[in-house]
Chains A and B, each alone.
Chain A
Amino acid sequence: MSIRTAGLCSVLGFLFMACGGAAAPNERVTSATAAVRAAEVAGAPGNPEASLLLKRAREGLAQAKAQMADGKNEDAALTLQKAEADADLALYLAREAAAKAEAQAAVDQVKAFKQKASE
């Protein structure tokens, strides 16, 4: 192998070797799993939109684990980022629904009190 050939290989290797040589994204698995649990605790299963996101996050988590099992750690890392983002959004949507319901209940309580007071 000439020096030129070796240089080309190093450039191409730099461009294409990143996928195959990535480490297992175990921390991302942990982080995504925690996000899924937090969404569950926040009540995401009881909210239609959040429930879909939670399902998507769980599927992403399972897919990532499969990818890791196949040695596709870089793909798994990307999948895990999406899954965690889905789970996070599921959590906030569940909280939003709860917060809106709580606010509406408080407003209704004020209306009811004023109406009763005016009778």
Chain B
Amino acid sequence: MKHTTLAAFTLIATLGCGTTLAPKELLDARDAYDRAAKGPAAKLTPAQLDTAKQALDKAEASFKDDGDEDGTKTMAYVAMRKAQAAAAQGEIAAAAQRRDQAARDLQAAQQADADKAKKSLAKTKTELAEEKRRLEAERKQAEAERKQSQAELAKKDQEVNKTKQQLEEEQKKRLDAEKKLSAAMASLAEIAKVKEEKRGVVITISGEVLFASGKHELLPIAQNKLDDVAKALKDQGYKAILVEGHTDSRGSAKKNEELSLQRANAVRTHLVSRGIASEKIKATGIGPSRPIATNDTAEGRANNRRVELIVTPE
């Protein structure tokens, strides 16, 4: 009987767990573990989750063996905390993954940005080099154009100087010629009348000075005067010279014409002998047909007896 009582007591003591509902702490522990197992801890921190599982298993075993005693409740409470801690560690690991991924993303973005900047820099360098080459080409072209302009300017200056020099020479020559002409005209004026007409410069020498009456041979003094005339003509320059012989109206016209021609030829011959070009000088006898004064007076007839040199200037 006593054995039966002890057995019943022991049975009640040991079977209590089987019939007692699980304590709240154990239910909370199971729930905490389930949530942890569904979170990132399952994949990222399986060791911590396993530790929580072991704690839960221990609590379950305690409940199975001992029921809802304080020890079981404490184990369940600890198991719940370990499950929550495992979940937290899973979250920590997940956060670390996100952080690491973000760091990689940042590094990739920075690298991409650096590559972009590098490309941009390279492009800018290329553009700058191209611009530099273009500017250099422009500078060289401008330099060449400047040199060409300088050369052209120098050439023009040279031409201007040459032209100026030529003008100065021409002017000098002209002044010299004018001086010579003036001198020649002054010299001629002493021995003959000189005047400009449409037909040219007309030098009129009185026949009284050149020839004896009725003769066509030059007087000695006339030769000296014609020498001066020849010298003046050569100094002045000439294109052509026409020697005209003129008489008064006394005597036959035919004889006067012959005489005037002979006198003109005499003058021509002497001038040629003094250096006047023979192909540029001609002689003609006009006779009495072109008087410059009346033949009714001795003075007028004296003026009509003359030799005229019609000079065409150069």
A15 within 8 A of B: yes
Say whether A110 contacts B105, CB under 8 Å.
yes
Say whether A103 contacts B96, CB under 8 Å.
yes
Contacts of A75 in B (CB 8 A): 70
Contacts of A81 in B (CB 8 A): 74-75, 77-78
Contacts of B85 in A (CB 8 A): 85, 88-89, 92
Assuming the A-B contacts A92-B85, A109-B106, are A103 and B78 also in contact, with contact meaning beta carbons closer than 8 angstroms in the complex? no
Contacts of B77 in A (CB 8 A): 81-82, 85
Shortest CB-to-CB span from B75 to chain A, Å, is 8
A55 within 8 A of B: no
Instruction: Tell which of B87-95, B125-133, B183-191, B290-298 binds the partner.
Output: B87-95
Say whether A99 contacts B95, CB under 8 Å.
yes
Assuming the A-B contacts A78-B71, A81-B74, are A113 and B92 also in contact, with contact meaning beta carbons closer than 8 angstroms in the complex? no
Say whether B88 contacts A110, CB under 8 Å.
no
- 9 A-B pairs within 8 Å (CB atoms) are namely A75-B70, A85-B80, A85-B82, A88-B82, A96-B88, A96-B92, A99-B91, A99-B92, A117-B109
Contacts of B70 in A (CB 8 A): 75, 78
- What 1/0 flags go to B62-103 for Cβ under 8 Å of A? 000000001100110110111011001101100110110011
Say whether B88 contacts A103, CB under 8 Å.
no
Report which A residues bind B (CB closer than 8 A). Answer: 4, 8, 11, 15, 75, 78, 81-82, 85-86, 88-89, 92-93, 95-96, 99-100, 102-103, 106-107, 109-110, 113-114, 117
Contacts of B71 in A (CB 8 A): 78
Contacts of A103 in B (CB 8 A): 95-96, 98-99, 102
Say whether A106 contacts B102, CB under 8 Å.
yes
B2 within 8 A of A: yes
Shortest CB-to-CB span from A25 to chain B, Å, is 12
The secondary-structure label for the interface of chain B is helix
CB-contact partner of A99 in B99, B102, B105, under 8 A: B99
Say whether B78 contacts A95, CB under 8 Å.
no
A11, B102: Cα distance in complex, Å? 64
- What 1/0 flags go to B198-221 for Cβ under 8 Å of A? 000000000000000000000000
A106, B82: Cα distance in complex, Å? 29
The secondary-structure label for the interface of chain A is helix
Say whether B2 contacts A4, CB under 8 Å.
yes
Contacts of A86 in B (CB 8 A): 81
Contacts of A82 in B (CB 8 A): 74, 77-78, 81
A112, B96: Cα distance in complex, Å? 20
Closest to A75 in B: B70
Say whether A106 contacts B88, CB under 8 Å.
no
Assuming the A-B contacts A75-B70, A89-B88, A117-B109, are A107 and B13 also in contact, with contact meaning beta carbons closer than 8 angstroms in the complex? no
Say whether B91 contacts A11, CB under 8 Å.
no
Closest to B98 in A: A103
B11 within 8 A of A: no
Say whether A107 contacts B88, CB under 8 Å.
no
Assuming the A-B contacts A8-B6, A78-B70, A88-B81, are A113 and B110 also in contact, with contact meaning beta carbons closer than 8 angstroms in the complex? yes
Can you list the 7 inter-chain pairs with the closest CB atoms, starting with the nearest? A85-B81, A106-B102, A99-B95, A92-B88, A103-B98, A103-B99, A78-B74
A92, B92: Cα distance in complex, Å? 8
Q: Which of B2, B91, B110 has the most CB of A within 10 A?
A: B91
B113 within 8 A of A: yes
Q: Which of B70, B71, B77, B95 has the most CB of A within 10 A?
A: B95
Shortest CB-to-CB span from A108 to chain B, Å, is 9
With contacts A92-B89, A99-B96, A103-B98 known, what are 18 further pairs, Cβ within 8 A?
A: A11-B6, A78-B70, A78-B71, A82-B74, A85-B77, A86-B81, A88-B81, A89-B84, A93-B88, A96-B91, A96-B95, A102-B99, A103-B99, A106-B98, A106-B106, A107-B102, A110-B106, A117-B109
